[in-house]
Amino acid sequence: MTCTSGCRTKNHESYGDCLKAKAVRTYLASPSKGLDGTRQKRWSADLAAYRDAVRQGIQPDSTNRASVEKAVRRSDETGAAYGRDFNAATSMEG
Q: Which stretch binds Zn ion (CB under 5 A): 16-24, 32-40, 41-49, 60-68?
A: 16-24
Q: CA–CA distance from 54 to each of 48, 57, 66, 69, 82 (Å)?
A: 10, 5, 15, 12, 10
- The CA distance from 69 to 63, in Å, is 10
Closest distance to Zn ion from the beta carbon of 29 (Å) = 19
Q: List the one residue from 5, 7, 29, 61 that touches Zn ion (CB under 5 A).
A: 7
Nearer to Zn ion, 31 or 57 (CB): 31
| Position among 1, 6, 16, 18 found at the interface with Zn ion (CB under 5 A) | 18
**Contact set with Zn ion (CB under 5 A):** 3, 7, 12, 18
